[in-house]
Structure 1
Amino acid sequence: MARKAEELVRAAESLYLHGPAHQQTDPKGGDVIVPGGMFTYQIIVRSERLYVVQIAYLGF
């Protein structure tokens, strides 16, 4: 899970170079499926943060 979250952070950094100056609405979050479960995330551009808001362990 940590590797996928790091990939999302790098993608957001390249897409939103000047986060504090961002004037539009924040992008829609999403779900990422990882081995054994999934997690839901939300990007807050102006704060330059990616939040993992839910982790689900599915046991597979």
Structure 2
Amino acid sequence: MTWRWEYDPDEAYVIGGAPPAFVAEVEKQADELVRAAAAFHLDGASYQEAGPKGNVAHVPGGFFLYLIVPRHECLYVHQATYL
């Protein structure tokens, strides 16, 4: 399995209606966070400890809430707020 990120529950719910430039910033930051998580959790699928807590990432124009789940090798974007 390879690390990835996705909108949870789906893109329309999380970021629907936001300007394309903001969406691009969210997706760019999510890509960077996934690379960092993959480097930190080298074998995420066999991760046995408590998972990291959710966090906030600030991007130009707003912010988004995310959760990293090492056993899924996935970063879930739960909410995006455009200011």
**TM norm. shorter chain > 0.5:** yes
Q: Does 1:49 align with 2:74?
A: yes
Structure 1 residue aligned with 2:48: 23
| Corresponding residue pairs, total | 58
Larger strand percent: 1
Percent identity of paired positions between Structure 1 and Structure 2: 48
**One-letter identity of the residue aligned with 1:31:** V
Using the alignment, how far apart are the partners of 1:14 and 1:32 within structure 2? 18
The CA RMSD over aligned residues, in Å, is 0.6
Larger helix percent: 2
TM (normalized to structure 2)? Answer: 0.67
Q: Deviations over 1:12-38 (max 9, x none)?
A: 000001011100011112101111110
Using the alignment, how far apart are the partners of 2:35 and 2:54 within structure 1? 15
Contiguous gaps of at least 5 residues in structure 2: 1-25
Q: How does 1:2-41 map to 2 (within 5 A)?
A: 2-41=27-66
Aligned-partner SS, 1:32: strand
Aligned-partner SS, 2:71: coil
| Greater relative CO, 1 or 2 (CA 8 Å, sep 6+) | 2
